[in-house]
């Protein structure tokens, strides 16, 4: 008897190799076991192009309505992709569109397996990155300065008061200039999301910025974050966890020397860069999960990696592939567990946990894709193809009680 999932989940399909493994996962690990109302949105590049990208906005609106979404990796087109797929234009990043509609914080957490030792030997527990997903260089205005002249930053108050003008630089020749922004409300909700996550998971919260150099911009982040942490002091104390502010360069050094087990809150760019560093440090992009949490408690789960395009071209040539589906499976289990938690349906939560255990049991039992085989300790003699790995997980799932 399939397990009944009370409320719907928004499923967003994607592109290339990620799409291929997505369909295998759904067919072999999800639909046979669950009676699930799926709201399906095809965010594959062709469908986005046909709908002038309205499909992405509709999917984000559906997450707002149902509360839970699960997303496959998608192509963010550049000029080469426009040509490759004959697109009408360079559509925006679907993740960027969804983030700006839900206004959230992205948390990235590595999956740890006993036989996949991290590259940094001190790391024992997950390092979770909380990335502020709004503003800074991701919503900047910039240009190339063609020759001598002055660049200024100008603010015009809506109330009609006096303009504020700050000189950026007197150029004596060619150069570049950029203006960027953030908002107090977005920073505050970023801080709150990180505080809730850290207290919920009972892990310390670190926040790093460069306030020694950027006294106003980064200083503003430090102050707003600090105020929110101060307001939550009692909750921190009763959860037995601490808040720490560090200079970003010190944070990097301390994180590498630590045994892990903290939430590292990062400004947008730092989070983008550091999550790749942490993912690689823990073994493979194929083991990094990602969840977008909105201030009003909506969740969107996905794998942190992209569409794994090199593997897809091999797949198109008819060659076997060994693409790691673990993070995509954990996107589903994350969504299902959260759905069950919100709906108060414990059998759904239990199914999600059982599926995660089946994945870990497969890898720890020596069945793994090539990316993991290269770093496994003890060594394994052969790697599983993508489908073989998913079949091995399905077998272990069927054997488990409580599925």
From Mg ion, ligand NAP, none, interface partner of 371 (C-beta below 5 to 8 A by class): ligand NAP
d(CA 9, CA 65): 10
Residue 323 interacts with ligand NAP (CB under 6 A)?
Answer: yes
Site size for ligand NAP, by CB under 6 A?
17
Q: Which is nearer to ligand NAP, 147 or 318 (CB)?
A: 318
The DSSP code for 31 is: T
Site size for Mg ion, by CB under 5 A?
1
* CA atoms in the 13 A half-sphere facing the CB of 364: 11
Q: Closest Cα to residue 201, out of 120, 293, 267?
A: 293
Q: Point out which span in 105-113, 129-137, 271-279, 284-292 binds Mg ion (CB under 5 A).
A: 271-279
CB of 197 to ligand NAP, least distance (A): 20
d(CA 246, CA 223): 12
Residue 272 interacts with Mg ion (CB under 5 A)?
Answer: yes
CB of 272 to Mg ion, least distance (A): 4
If you search the block for the tokens 């589906």, which residue do you land on?
325
Q: Which of residues 342-381 bind ligand NAP (CB under 6 A)?
A: 371
| Strands (E) located in 195-319 | 204-209, 243-247, 262-266, 288-293, 299-303
Residue 324 interacts with ligand NAP (CB under 6 A)?
Answer: yes
- Measured from each CB, the residue nearest to ligand NAP is 306
Q: Point out which span in 105-113, 180-188, 264-272, 322-330 binds Mg ion (CB under 5 A).
A: 264-272
d(CA 114, CA 187): 37
| Options 7, 66, 76, 280; binder of ligand NAP; rule CB under 6 A | 76
Residue 308 interacts with ligand NAP (CB under 6 A)?
Answer: yes
If you search the block for the tokens 């020397």, which residue do you land on?
257
Q: Closest Cα to residue 273, out of 83, 376, 125, 131?
A: 131
Q: In 3-state terms, what secondary structure has residue 90? A: coil
Residues that bind ligand NAP (CB under 6 A): 73-76, 95, 285-286, 302, 305-310, 323-324, 371
Residues that bind Mg ion (CB under 5 A): 272
């Amino acid at each position: 008897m399939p397990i009944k999932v009370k409320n719907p989940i928004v499923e967003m399909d994607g592109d290339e190799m990620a799409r291929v493994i997505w369909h295998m996962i759904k067919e072999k690990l999800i639909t046979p076991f669950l009676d699930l109302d799926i709201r399906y949105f095809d965010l594959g590049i062709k469908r986005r192009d046909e709908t002038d990208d309205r499909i992405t906005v509709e999917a984000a609106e559906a997450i707002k309505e149902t509360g839970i979404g699960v997303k496959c990796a998608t192509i963010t087109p550049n000029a080469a992709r426009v040509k490759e797929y004959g697109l009408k234009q360079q559509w925006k990043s679907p993740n960027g569109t969804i983030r700006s509609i839900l206004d959230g914080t992205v948390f990235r957490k590595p999956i740890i397996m006993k036989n996949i030792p991290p590259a940094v030997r001190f790391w024992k527990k997950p390092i979770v990155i909380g990335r502020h997903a709004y503003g800074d260089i991701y919503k900047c205005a910039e240009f190339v300065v063609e020759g001598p002249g002055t660049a200024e930053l100008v603010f015009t108050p809506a109330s009609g008061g006096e303009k504020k003008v700050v000189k950026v630089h007197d150029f004596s020749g060619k150069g570049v200039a950029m203006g960027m922004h953030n908002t107090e409300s977005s920073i505050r909700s970023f801080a709150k999301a990180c505080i809730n996550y850290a207290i919920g998971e009972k892990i310390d919260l670190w926040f790093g910025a460069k306030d020694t150099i950027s006294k106003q911009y980064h200083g503003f982040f430090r102050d707003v974050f600090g105020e929110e942490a101060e307001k939550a002091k009692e909750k921190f104390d009763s959860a037995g966890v601490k808040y720490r502010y560090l200079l970003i360069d010190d944070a990097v050094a301390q994180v590498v020397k630590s045994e892990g087990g903290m939430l590292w809150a990062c400004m947008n760019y730092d989070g983008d860069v550091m999550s790749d560093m942490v993912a690689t440090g823990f073994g493979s992009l194929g083991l990094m999960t990602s969840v977008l949490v909105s201030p009003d408690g909506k969740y969107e789960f996905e794998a942190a990696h992209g569409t794994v395009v090199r593997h897809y071209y091999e797949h198109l040539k008819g060659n076997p592939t060994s693409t790691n589906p673990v993070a995509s499976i954990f996107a589903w289990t994350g969504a299902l567990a959260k759905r069950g938690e919100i709906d108060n349906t414990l059998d759904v939560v239990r199914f999600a946990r059982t599926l995660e255990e089946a994945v870990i049991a497969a890898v720890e039992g020596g069945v793994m894709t090539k990316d993991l085989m290269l770093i496994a300790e003890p060594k394994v003699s052969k790697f599983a193809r993508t489908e073989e790995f998913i079949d091995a997980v399905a077998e272990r799932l069927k054997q488990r009680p409580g599925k």
